[in-house]
């Protein structure tokens, strides 16, 4: 177990330019060459993952989260900055010397090895067990070689292999895959392959687990079951874990903290509910939450009043000073779908016409728009039947709104939410 620190990390890749040349036979040949201009994939990443913490990196595809994980694993080289595991700076160390174990999206199991040997492979290579730290005696090596071609039950088993067998079986019991030890990967289901991949990582007893979207190949039901197993397992082992996903549901349900990334930068790091209830900026507000937060352009017209072309909204008094301090009248009003109330014509803030409805049983999603350019999503928990084309009078819960500076995108937080 160890703390992981990313200190002012940068990563860039060189652009490539293509040149089209004509060969001697008249055909066209395309030649790719490095360009002096580079693509910045990660910029100014500063993040500390505490000892034993489950940290989730979440963001859209291409935001740099997997690249950050690969930098920690040693599969990519840093452009700038430092990475520490415990008190060691690791950017100059090869992957095998970093004492990490990684679970990949595609499981990366050896197809010709059974489950037992897939789990044991890393132990044999890394020599983690206490007995493998000493050279085996020449007599033991000779006995192993002499009996290698004999039936398995009468072969000589070295002390090193006995230790490995003990560790493999212990991990198999932990993951409930003991009956699968003799099977090949092609004989396993997706969920079983995932547990074998986890077992291979756990068996090495590393300081840090790295997981790169390990559940993306599973169906919805199995994904839900497996993410609960991973969280329980991580708590039981108490090993520092960094988990990469683009699925916000995984991020919200699995992480002790989550780091939301966008375009190579960390937007916010906090506990899941803190990120959901107090998004730091417009990107986080729109990304975290399903369905996402509704974002409406409004103007502050003085005191605690917001003006939209379709409605006016009076805010709690706590907002007054904050709005004066924000030095802008152009704001973005954020309201989550569940914070609308269907009301009557007299008390409504505005009305919308229903475009479409998704009835999920426990809740209903209603899709409409305030105007041609502002889509609106409403979530209700009731048995009321809503039909497309219906006119709905809506009221906003003013205690649940979020306001953002329209120029900077930064959140304006009222004092009663701190």
User: What domains are defined for the chain?
Assistant: 4-11+39-126+146-272 (3.40.50.300), 291-412 (2.40.50.140)
pLDDT band at 128 (very low <50, low <70, confident <90, very high): very low
- Rounded average pLDDT over 4-28: 73
pLDDT digits (tens, 9 = 90+) for 83-104: 999 999 999 999 989 999 999 8
DSSP string for 246-270: S-HHHHHHH-SEEEEEETTEEEEEE
Who has greater pLDDT, 14 or 339? 339
- For residue 140, the surrounding DSSP H or E stretch is helix 138-146
Contact 376, 367 (CB under 8 A): yes
DSSP string for 336-347: -GGGEEE--TTT
Angle, helix 220-237 to helix 190-203, in steps of 10 degrees: 20
Query: Given a cut of 50, is residue 134 above it in pLDDT?
Result: no
Q: What span, in angstroms and rounded, lies between the C-alpha atoms of 369 and 390?
A: 13
pLDDT digits (tens, 9 = 90+) for 191-226: 889 889 989 988 888 999 999 998 888 888 888 888
Place of tokens 């860039």: 12
Contacts of 227 (CB under 8 A, 6+ apart): 215, 250, 253, 254
- Rounded average pLDDT over 385-406: 92
HSE-CB at 215 with a 13 A cutoff on CA atoms is: 23
Most confident of 116-130, 143-157, 242-256, 312-326: 242-256
Give which of 170, 7, 18, 139 is closest to 78, Cα–Cα. Answer: 7
pLDDT band at 268 (very low <50, low <70, confident <90, very high): very high
| Range with lowest mean pLDDT among 10-19, 335-344, 362-371 | 10-19
Tell me, what's the pLDDT at 127? 54
Encoding tokens for residue 275? 């990120």
Q: Say which DSSP state 274 is in.
A: H
Q: What span, in angstroms and rounded, lies between the C-alpha atoms of 234 and 246?
A: 20
pLDDT band at 33 (very low <50, low <70, confident <90, very high): very low
Give the predicted TM-score (pTM) of the model: 0.84
pLDDT digits (tens, 9 = 90+) for 316-359: 888 888 888 887 889 999 999 999 999 998 889 999 999 999 99
Who has greater pLDDT, 374 or 76? 76
- Rounded average pLDDT over 22-49: 70
Question: Residues 342-346: contacts with CB within 8 Å, 24+ apart?
Answer: 342/378, 342/380, 342/384, 342/392, 342/393, 342/394, 343/393, 343/394, 343/395, 344/393, 345/393
26 phi-psi bin (left φ>0, alpha ψ -120 to 50, beta other): left
Residues 117-131 as b/e (b if ≥16 CB within 10 A, e otherwise) read bbbbbbbeebebbee
Contact 244, 57 (CB under 8 A): yes
Give which of 396, 390, 296 is closest to 338, Cα–Cα. Answer: 396
Q: What span, in angstroms and rounded, lies between the C-alpha atoms of 278 and 414?
A: 10
- Rounded average pLDDT over 92-120: 91
């Amino acid at each position: 177990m160890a703390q992981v620190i990313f200190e002012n990390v940068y990563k860039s890749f060189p652009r490539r330019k293509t040149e089209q040349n004509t060969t001697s036979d008249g055909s066209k040949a395309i030649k790719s060459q490095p360009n002096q201009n580079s693509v910045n994939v990660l910029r100014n990443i500063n993040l500390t993952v505490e000892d034993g913490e489950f940290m989730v990196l979440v963001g859209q595809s291409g935001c740099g989260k997997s690249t950050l994980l690969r930098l920690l694993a040693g599969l990519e080289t840093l452009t700038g900055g430092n990475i520490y595991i415990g008190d060691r700076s690791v950017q100059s160390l090869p992957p095998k010397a970093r004492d990490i174990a990684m679970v990949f999206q595609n499981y990366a199991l050896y197809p010709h090895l059974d489950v037992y040997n897939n789990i044991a492979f890393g132990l044999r290579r890394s020599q983690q067990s206490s007995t493998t730290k000493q050279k085996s005696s020449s007599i033991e090596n000779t006995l192993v070689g002499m009996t290698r071609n004999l039936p398995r039950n009468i072969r000589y088993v070295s002390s090193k292999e006995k230790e490995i067998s003990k560790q493999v079986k212990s991990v198999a019991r932990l993951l409930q895959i003991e009956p699968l030890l003799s099977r090949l990967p092609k004989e396993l289901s997706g969920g079983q392959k995932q547990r074998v991949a986890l077992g291979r990582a756990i068996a090495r007893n590393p300081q840090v687990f790295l997981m790169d979207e390990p559940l993306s190949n599973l169906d919805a039901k199995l994904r839900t079951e497996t993410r609960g197993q991973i969280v329980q397992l991580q708590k039981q082992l108490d090993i520092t874990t960094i988990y990469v996903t683009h699925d916000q549901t995984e991020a919200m349900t699995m992480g002790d903290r989550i780091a939301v990334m966008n375009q190579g930068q960390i937007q916010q790091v906090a506990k899941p509910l803190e990120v959901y209830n107090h998004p730091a900026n417009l990107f986080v507000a729109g990304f975290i939450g399903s369905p996402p937060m509704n974002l409406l352009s409004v103007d502050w017209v003085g005191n605690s009043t917001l003006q939209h072309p379709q409605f006016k909204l009076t805010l709690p008094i706590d907002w007054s000073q904050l709005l004066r301090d924000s030095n802008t009248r152009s704001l973005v009003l954020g309201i989550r779908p569940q914070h609308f109330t269907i009301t009557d014509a007299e008390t409504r803030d505005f009305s919308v016409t229903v475009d479409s409805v998704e009835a999920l049983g426990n809740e209903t999603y209603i899709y409409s728009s305030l105007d041609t350019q502002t889509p609106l999503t409403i979530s209700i928990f009731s048995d009321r039947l809503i039909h497309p084309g219906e006119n709905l009078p809506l009221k906003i819960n003013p205690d649940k709104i979020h306001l953002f500076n329209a120029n900077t995108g930064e959140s304006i937080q009222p004092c009663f939410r701190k």
